[in-house]
Structure 1
Amino acid sequence: MMPKLLTGLLVAVLSLTLTTVARATPRSDASPPATDTIGAAVIRADFEALYSGLRQAHYDLYVHTPQAEYDRLYQQTLASFDRPLSLFDIRIRFQRFVAAGRVAHANIAFPGEDFGTYRQAGGTAIPITVAIDDGHIYIEDNQSGIAGLDPGDEIVSLNGISASDWLTRLGRNISADTDYLNQALVELMFRPLLWLEAGSPERFRITLQKPDGRQVEVEIPALTMAETQTFADANPGTGTLSLDHSDRIARLMDGGIAYLRPGPFYNATPGADSFDATTFHAFIDEAFASFIAAGAGDVLIDLRQNPGGYDSFSNAMIAWFADQPFHFASDLRIKVSPQAVAENAERVAAGAGAGDDTSLRLAAAYATAQPGDVIHYDVPLIQPRPSGRYAGRVWVLVDRYSFSNAVNVAAVIQDYSFGRVLGEPTADLATTYGAMEHFTLPRTGITVGFPKGHIIRPNGTLKAAGVTPDILIPTPRVEGRDDPVLIAALRAIADNP
């Protein structure tokens, strides 16, 4: 179950995007309403524990940020804790420090409960969604009801601050290995991050650059969720494409191409064991059996906006068309630490998930290792289905929001030549620092995520990069509801007989 702990990157993202709120009153520190505070001495002690724990447990804390630079930031941040702060503010300050390491799977989850509570209580937010492309911010959807903000317009400045400065301010809260990944996550979290950095003024003043080069200034009000929904109900023809990451779809398209949207590679049924793949396996088996019966010569597997999950799910899907045994990764190197050993022991004590022996195998490996050792996890060899396999062509459609295990699925299919990859490069990485674990700070109770492993994609490359498609299909800045990327993917398949 190697990718079990790769899903941590998306947990924070989904918790934000599902509970988007903004503050009512502008504050310089964007902190929530007055609550109990924690003394400076306690904050400093837990900050020391934070850095000590990361140095001890992180697979390679200084891979992107040199130790001398990180040490200087540590001393500066430590000295800045000279007054009591709310737990909310402490979490944000600690996360900014962790994010300076630029490793996606080292993070402190955003305090989404505060965010969601405010929004549900009528808190306002900026009523636009954005697309971020190569360091530029564009209007994706205008939900304000105010004319003048058109999809595709570039944001030059917001409330007197340039778009590039906003990207820097918002991005400092995000753990990400690359600028591409950072900006993809900022795009997903634009409203809550703007709330974090700017509070929620009553109105937003936006300078736009139109496609013809003209610059115009528009003011829009901050709106509640109810107000935004009222606008959406009154304008059903507006808006952009929205894909549900939980959809499981199998159908035949025009031209005899089979379409498979497998959904997340975990059991998302409320209250179910997330490791229980029984229903997923039945869905995949029925889908491929129907594709074979229909004589489909091509299958398009749509992994756009897929949050990932566990390889016990995805391996069963790949086995339907794999023509040779395959490894999900060429190597998984794990750093042994007291933190990783302790969390694994908790899982063993609680009982491993259905079909998951990873925790038991790790426990056995840890028993003969010392803290600081790097061990090699034996990535299992997966066999193709012994008979009845799908023998047609396989295509995989990805985008910058294909995360975690979905990226690894695309890498396996590409590296073993099981099929061809379409779409835009993934923002999440195929060779990555992952296998995420957690430790808890002793005084504040803040939970810190860290990567205990280095996961090497099947082709063996050590380069920290996503999957680059064989056929590039850029995602439009404004993606219409007719799904232009899917249309282009079907056309590319038809044009490659």
Structure 2
Amino acid sequence: MPFKKVAVFLSLVVLSARICTAQQFAPRDLQNDLAFIKRQVFTVQANPFTELTRKQYEKVFDAARAKLTDSMTAAEFYRLVKPLVSWTSDEHAGITAPDSIAVFDENALLLPFAVSEQGNAYVIDTLLAAANGIAQGAPIKKINGTGINDVLQQCAGFTVGFPAQRRHNAEKYLGYLYGMANPGAGSYTITLQDERSITVPGVPLAAWQRYVQSIMAAPQNCPQKISYQKAGNTGYINACSFLTRSDEEYAAIGRTIDSIYNRAAADGVENLIIDVSRNSGGNSAVGDLLIAGFYDQPYRTYQCNWKRSDEYLATMKGWGMRDDRYERLKPGAILHFDSDTIRPAAGKRRFKGKVYVLIGAGTFSSAMMFATIIKDNKIAPLIGQTPDGHPSHFGEMYYTTVPHTRLGLRLGVKEWIRPAGKTGENELTPDIPLALPAYAGTSPAALNNRVQAIMLAVHAYTGAAAAVNPATPAP
């Protein structure tokens, strides 16, 4: 089965403030919108009962419907329904707000820190602004009178993915998600483990936007989707996006990749680093192009379970796409594709040195699939940090708009299963762990530091005795 294009998303939230509207929606309209969301989740999403049984999920929607007794603004309805899709374990799914709805007030002041779990406590991990009485490492007991566990559970509902992934996101983006779930606060009463209470001021929304962008695949740091630089005896491929919007763009990126491997051969580099640590995805076939430049053996791809629905069938027809096997199935049935074997073309000039693939928190979607294929087929070592996403996941997105409030809804219609299958933990663990230095651009000095850190980790892991060749970037 050939790979399909996988859309690019930041799985957490949309990073923008919006203009507010005070329009009130009647309870009946809100109930209709809720029923619409439920129907889409249950009939379109590839496997909505991953975490909850159908009966349990019904109760979640029933509880939300019980709250629709009075009129609401679209923003209020958004806060009620956004957590409902989190139970799908679909890290691509989400409910989004149109530009007319204020997720945050333009002058919002958000909780100024994130936390991490240490033993039986949650401590301040990142502090976005100095505040009297709190510091990094301070153990948090309550926020505005609510226990930290309850706060994190609420915030986890405003992100997506698997349960542990949502909890981790709630910790890492605590101030951002807390402000989304609890608008209006400008200062916060923090109760520490020793029962001291401290009032801390919030930070502007822009401070959290900058922080989130700094640790995710920031588009402004990706002027070229795939680029190459030489550093000493090491070539560095910065693959920060696999996005192609047309066959012409796909062909162009293929030519770019070919030229990169030609340059690496001409440079005579001994090592090649392919960096997808900040790549949020795009067209999964781009990963095959990268593999073809250095690997000539057959390898296994992903399996796929594709759920049949009339809604997605109509979407496909609107795109001018047809699949007779899919059309013939009854709604709710699953079209299964086994893993394909890719056989790279013979006779192609390929890089002959050592290849390492760099992964990190921003490795997502199609980039995750590329790195997982590398891992499961033992094509090259992975270096870096375990990504926030998961090798087996839901993808190929269906989009629709909720009728009255005009919220956006997206759901994955395919379940992608890694080449190794559903065995063991659903995580992508690097072969060579490395705490990645903060991304500092592609200047000669920044590249030098990044490459040296990576190659030092390689030498330490392999026990190589040879000194690392100092990286001197070519002009």
Query: TM-score, structure 2 length as denominator?
Result: 0.81
Q: 1:311-344: CA deviations, max 9, x gaps?
A: 2322211111122133431x11211110110111
- Distance, in Å, in 2 between the alignment partners of 1:402 and 1:77 is 34
Q: Which residue of 2 aligns with 1:455?
A: 416
Q: Which runs of 5+ in 1 are unaligned?
A: 22-31, 233-239, 349-358
The answer as to 2:199 corresponding to 1:198 is no
The answer as to 2:344 corresponding to 1:384 is yes
> 2:45–2:412: 8 Å Cα contact kept in structure 1?
yes
Q: 1:74-98: CA deviations, max 9, x gaps?
A: 2222222111111222223222222
Relative to structure 1, is the Cα distance of residues 327 and 53 closer, same or farther in structure 2, using a 3 angstrom cutoff?
same
Q: Which amino acid aligns with 1:438?
A: Y
> 1:92–1:110: 8 Å Cα contact kept in structure 2?
no
Q: Which residue of 1 aligns with 2:163?
A: 178
Shift of 1:457: 0.9
The answer as to 2:236 corresponding to 1:259 is yes
Relative to structure 1, is the Cα distance of residues 430 and 441 closer, same or farther in structure 2, using a 3 angstrom cutoff?
same
State how many pairs are aligned.
Answer: 446
Q: Which residue of 2 aligns with 1:394?
A: 355
Q: Which residue of 1 aligns with 2:393?
A: 432
Q: Which residue of 1 aligns with 2:8?
A: 7
Query: TM-score, structure 1 length as denominator?
Result: 0.77
Relative to structure 1, is the Cα distance of residues 490 and 196 closer, same or farther in structure 2, using a 3 angstrom cutoff?
same
The answer as to 2:314 corresponding to 1:328 is no
Query: Structure 2 residue aligned with 1:138, among 99, 121, 124?
Result: 124
> 1:2–1:379: 8 Å Cα contact kept in structure 2?
no
- Distance, in Å, in 2 between the alignment partners of 1:475 and 1:46 is 44
- Distance, in Å, in 2 between the alignment partners of 1:113 and 1:56 is 28
- Distance, in Å, in 2 between the alignment partners of 1:242 and 1:150 is 24
Shift of 1:129: 5.2
The answer as to 2:276 corresponding to 1:303 is yes
Matches within 5 A, 1:341-490: 341-348=313-320, 359-360=321-322, 363-377=323-337, 381-385=341-345, 386-461=347-422, 465-474=426-435, 488-490=453-455
Relative to structure 1, is the Cα distance of residues 113 and 38 closer, same or farther in structure 2, using a 3 angstrom cutoff?
closer
> 2:228–2:236: 8 Å Cα contact kept in structure 1?
yes
Relative to structure 1, is the Cα distance of residues 297 and 2 closer, same or farther in structure 2, using a 3 angstrom cutoff?
same
- Distance, in Å, in 2 between the alignment partners of 1:435 and 1:411 is 17
Q: Which residue of 1 aligns with 2:31?
A: 44
Relative to structure 1, is the Cα distance of residues 437 and 78 closer, same or farther in structure 2, using a 3 angstrom cutoff?
same
What is the DSSP-based 3-state SS (H/G/I as helix, E as strand, rest coil) of the residue aligned with 1:454? Answer: strand
> 2:6–2:365: 8 Å Cα contact kept in structure 1?
no
Shift of 1:110: 5.0
> 1:139–1:154: 8 Å Cα contact kept in structure 2?
no
What is the DSSP-based 3-state SS (H/G/I as helix, E as strand, rest coil) of the residue aligned with 1:489? Answer: helix
> 1:424–1:472: 8 Å Cα contact kept in structure 2?
yes
Q: 1:43-93: CA deviations, max 9, x gaps?
A: 112222222232222222112112221122222222221111112222232
- Distance, in Å, in 2 between the alignment partners of 1:53 and 1:3 is 22
Matches within 5 A, 1:7-86: 7-8=8-9, 10=10, 13=12, 15-16=14-15, 19=16, 35-86=22-73
Relative to structure 1, is the Cα distance of residues 200 and 132 closer, same or farther in structure 2, using a 3 angstrom cutoff?
farther
Q: Which amino acid aligns with 1:130?
A: A
Relative to structure 1, is the Cα distance of residues 448 and 244 closer, same or farther in structure 2, using a 3 angstrom cutoff?
closer
Q: Which runs of 5+ in 2 are unaligned?
A: 441-445, 465-475
Shift of 1:473: 2.8
Q: Which amino acid aligns with 2:417?
A: I
> 1:305–1:402: 8 Å Cα contact kept in structure 2?
yes
> 1:339–1:438: 8 Å Cα contact kept in structure 2?
no
- Distance, in Å, in 2 between the alignment partners of 1:13 and 1:166 is 17
The percentage of counterpart residues that share the same residue type is 18
Q: Which residue of 2 aligns with 1:314?
A: 287
Q: 1:450-479: CA deviations, max 9, x gaps?
A: 222121112223567121111223569xx6
> 2:12–2:160: 8 Å Cα contact kept in structure 1?
no
Shift of 1:40: 0.7
Q: Which amino acid aligns with 1:409?
A: F
> 1:108–1:449: 8 Å Cα contact kept in structure 2?
yes
What is the DSSP-based 3-state SS (H/G/I as helix, E as strand, rest coil) of the residue aligned with 1:299? Answer: strand
Q: Which residue of 2 aligns with 1:283?
A: 256
Q: Which residue of 1 aligns with 2:470?
A: none
Shift of 1:101: 3.3
What is the DSSP-based 3-state SS (H/G/I as helix, E as strand, rest coil) of the residue aligned with 2:94? Answer: coil
Q: Which residue of 1 aligns with 2:468?
A: none
Q: Which residue of 2 aligns with 1:125?
A: 109
Q: Which residue of 2 aligns with 1:92?
A: 79
Relative to structure 1, is the Cα distance of residues 215 and 117 closer, same or farther in structure 2, using a 3 angstrom cutoff?
closer
Shift of 1:419: 0.3
Give the superposed CA RMSD.
Answer: 3.6
Shift of 1:105: 3.3
> 1:432–1:464: 8 Å Cα contact kept in structure 2?
no
Q: Which residue of 2 aligns with 1:338?
A: 310
Shift of 1:195: 1.6
- Distance, in Å, in 2 between the alignment partners of 1:274 and 1:156 is 54
> 1:396–1:410: 8 Å Cα contact kept in structure 2?
yes
- Distance, in Å, in 1 between the alignment partners of 2:318 and 2:171 is 35
Shift of 1:99: 1.7
Relative to structure 1, is the Cα distance of residues 409 and 132 closer, same or farther in structure 2, using a 3 angstrom cutoff?
farther
What is the DSSP-based 3-state SS (H/G/I as helix, E as strand, rest coil) of the residue aligned with 1:429? Answer: coil
Q: Which amino acid aligns with 1:328?
A: T
